[in-house]
Structure 1
Amino acid sequence: MEENAGQIVDWRALYEKALNHDYNERFIGDIKTPVKYATPTLRTMLADVEHKLSQNFVQNEIPAEFQAAYSRRLSEGKDETLEGQILSVADKIDLLYESFGEIQKGNPEPVFRDIYQESLKTIVAFKKMTSVQYFLKAVLPEMLAEPFTHQDQLQALTTQILTAGPQSD
């Protein structure tokens, strides 16, 4: 969508970022979303551990002549480039769908509502992107139109976030 809107997408960079952005989970495992998002402090600590273990892996397991390339590829792909922004949005949409699915099934854990809220706020922060505008105008309303328990509450929360617009934390 971004390319159709006139942006130049470096597809190789985007594919590399997308393929490698969760690679560091191999060091500590794929921690379940409710645990990973339990507190901002825990999320920061986990990111720090992943980064240090990744650095250690590159320094100890990768030949010196390839270390710079691997360090770059295994670094955080969600950066200020268009490709990093696309990855950030895609990752948050995935998280939003995951939390929505749990809410839709009636999961009583409040962390899923928190994850939904945080994900949507992050997505809205990228609303200048064509793909985000499409998601907010076409996909999200259709998703929320499906009947589920506490539908009115989630619709109200969504409206509140969309009305408030991008926020800085």
Structure 2
Amino acid sequence: MIWHGAVIGLGATAVMDLWALLQRRLFGVPSLDYALVGRWLGHFPRGRFRHKAIMAAPPVAGERVLGWAAHYAIGMLFAALLIGLWGPAWVADPTPGPALIIGVGTVVVPFLIMQPAFGAGLAASRTPQPNKARFRSLVAHASFGVGLYLAAKISALWG
């Protein structure tokens, strides 16, 4: 199950990233710069967990690599949660419902943790267009749910 969790999490996160790339190229929709995630995490050892504005925080060495690594590790953790809740039977014969529940459910992380910690407020309330930011987050995490399902289908083929 560990192997399947890793494969499903990596695949789902890649689908999320491909969706973000497609939106940026076709519609000019900006996506999260994962270097900022690395910057946020890089300030943890210094005891700093919240920022007035993460972009104004001092850069951290290796923040881009740290941010991208965290992004994919978190994707694998959410895949493990999915497998933990629905079990090996779901991995053997995946259905879209559980994957979408977990995918969409993961939007609570940016709403309640990351956006406030980055200075954007609870559920992007301090951004210029909060509802637009919320919708984009929801769509991004729904794409992760689709990715969980697609990656699980591929993983199931490998047995």
Relative to the length of structure 2, the TM-score reads 0.31
Bigger-Rg structure (1/2): 1
Question: Structure 1-normalised TM-score?
Answer: 0.30
Structure number having the greater helix percentage: 2
